[in-house]
């Protein structure tokens, strides 16, 4: 049975779809298709149905990674469906845990940067209101964290 990962940010158009697509890229690179399944969601309903942000697509494209998908909102059923839920920042982390008042799924929820090995960032910053450099930084940070997560999975 496949291990299921869910990446979560606020709107599901910048950070979490980037993490999902980067992880899928790394999975394919290592021939692990079918062993790990990825999805992404947002804690808000702001962008439901939207494609990944074009600036994020451009930043990923510069690294040879194509961003696909449509934004959706985190759903309570995601707690059951996914083995690991990765929040991009502490605010997302808190928002997810608020949906689990009995702490039944707390062990499934982690911060994405917990898996970064090359970057010191403890959160993935939201690049939405910034410039090109912010989007590039997020891609580099997520490449690092996704690689670290994959290494953890392979142990």
Active site residues: 9, 15, 126
Place of tokens 């059951």: 80
SS3 25: helix
Distance (Å, rounded) from C-alpha 83 to C-alpha 39?
12
- Is the distance from CB of 19 to CB of 143 less than 8 angstroms? no
Distance (Å, rounded) from C-alpha 58 to C-alpha 85?
26
Place of tokens 């982390």: 93
Q: List phi, psi (to 5°) of 99.
A: -80, -5
């Amino acid at each position: 049975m496949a291990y299921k990962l869910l990446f979560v940010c606020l709107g599901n158009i910048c950070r979490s779809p980037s993490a999902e697509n980067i992880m899928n890229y790394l999975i394919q690179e290592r021939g692990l298709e079918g062993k790990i399944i990825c999805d992404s969601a947002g804690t808000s309903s702001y962008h439901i149905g939207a494609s990944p942000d074009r600036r994020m697509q451009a930043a990923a494209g510069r690294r040879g990674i194509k961003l696909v998908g449509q934004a959706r909102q985190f759903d309570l059923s995601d707690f059951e469906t996914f083995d690991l839920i990765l929040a991009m920042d502490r605010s997302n982390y808190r928002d997810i845990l608020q949906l689990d008042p009995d702490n039944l799924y707390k062990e499934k929820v982690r911060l994405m940067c917990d898996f970064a090995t090359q970057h010191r960032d403890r959160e993935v910053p939201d690049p939405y209101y910034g410039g090109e450099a912010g989007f590039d930084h997020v891609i580099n940070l997520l490449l690092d964290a996704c690689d670290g997560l994959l290494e953890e999975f392979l142990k």
